[in-house]
Every structure is written in structure tokens, then in C-alpha cells.
Amino acid sequence: MIEDIRKAANAQHLEILGALHEGTDTILLLGPLEPEFWKVFKSSPEAQDGQSDPLDRWSKRIISQLATNSKASTHFPSDGPAYPPFISWALESGESWASPVGMLVHQNAGLFASYRGALRLNGHLALPAPATSPCTPCAKPCETACPVGALSETSYDVEACKVHILGPDSKSCRAQGCAARRACPVSRTYSRQPEQSAFHMRAFLGE
């Protein structure tokens, strides 16, 4: 059944980025399927209507339809408070891990991992075998990529990050996305569009 849902999600340029059991249910975590995800979103009504939160609204529309078709319920990162534990779910799925700079790293998306929503299905569906963290054999260029050293395994200096982005921005973080995320070797293979990273950076800055 998971593969049927994966095919339906892929048709909407979403991918299952993790699966886990919780209680008697199975949870599937959904995120962008690159490289066409951003192009599809940009052509959507939500991206063009000038209203707030276009990506959240697109995600809810598309994932809610997937839920209806698969007899599932939904969770979204923007639901709350209290907010669904997407980070805990991702770590439990065996496809994502805590990276050397604190952010989640996914086996295929690297430090560009993001979750647009989740499907909750009744029963325990068969899960894929756990993967191995890509950080284990990695030289970890993410650790030195941030120009102001704002990121570590245990902390994140949000203010230093924002000051850099709004000031000299020597690594073009605002236009291309976080330099540490881009330094990840797995992220480099993920084909995420710089425009998408810039969109998320504007949201981070509250613009």
C-alpha cells in the first residue's frame, strides 16, 4: 500500500521522506520531489493569488486529497499549537538523522530535507529497512560552511545568522539558501531550486 501512496504522491511531485509506526497507526512523511516540485508549485493557484502562506495552503490542498484517496488522516507542520512532532517522527523513521550542524539530514535530500505534511493510516504497514546516515563517512563540510559560525550540533545563533543575511551575506545565503545546507554533499545531488531556498529564507526573515 505504501508504494501505491508513493506513486500517487509522486504524481503531485511529493515524495515519502520517511515512514514509522506510532501506536497502532502508520505515519508517512511527505516532502518535495525534486527537481520539478518548485515549478509545479509556482504554477498553482495558491502561488499566484497573492494571499499569505501559499506553500502551506498548497500543501494542505494536495495532501488532503491524497489522504481522502488513501483513507488517511493528515498532519501539517503549521497545525498548532501544539504542533505535530515532525522532527521526532523524522528521526524515528530511520531515513533522517541529526547532522553535525544540528539540522536534520535525510538520506536523499541531505540538509535540504523539509516536510510538507504527513498521512496517518490505520494499521501497521510494512516499513522499509532503516538506512545509514550519510554523515558517517562524510568529511562534514557543513561544519565550516557558515560564514559566521552560527550552527553547531547543539546550538543555533539565530541573531548572528540574520545579521549576516541582512548585511554582507558573503555566501549568498539569502538568494541561494543556507551555505551549510548547500555544502552537504547529499544536498548537492538533490536539485533543489535556488528560488525555493530564497522563498524559505524570506519566510525565515518574516518578509
Query: What b/e string do you get for 37-65 counting C-beta neighbours within 10 Å, with b at 16 or more?
Result: bbebbbeeebbeeeeeebbbbbbbebbbe
The one-letter amino acid code at 160 reads A
pLDDT at 117: 98
pTM, 2 dp: 0.95
- Please give the sequence-ordered ranges of beta strands (E in DSSP) within 33-130, or none if there are none: 73-75, 96-98, 104-106, 117-122
pLDDT at 176: 95
- Looking at the structure of the chain, the number of domains it has is 1
Q: What percent of the chain has pLDDT over 90?
A: 98
Which set of grid coordinates corresponds to residue 84?
505535530
* Residues near 134 by beta carbon (within 8 Å), at least 6 away in sequence: 105, 107, 110, 185, 186
Query: What b/e string do you get for 143-155 counting C-beta neighbours within 10 Å, with b at 16 or more?
Result: bebbbbebbeeee
Helix (H, G, I), strand (E, B) or coil at 202: helix
Which set of grid coordinates corresponds to residue 82?
501544539
Per-residue pLDDT of the chain (207 residues; tens, 9 = 90+): 899 999 999 999 999 999 999 999 999 999 999 999 999 999 999 999 999 999 999 999 999 999 999 999 999 999 999 999 999 999 999 999 999 999 999 999 999 999 999 999 999 999 999 999 999 999 999 999 999 999 999 999 999 999 999 999 999 999 999 999 999 999 999 999 999 999 999 999 998
- Chain centroid, CA 116 distance in Å: 7
Q: Which domain holds residue 23?
A: 2-205
Residue count of the chain, please give it: 207
pLDDT at 144: 97
pLDDT in tens, 8-23: 999 999 999 999 999 9
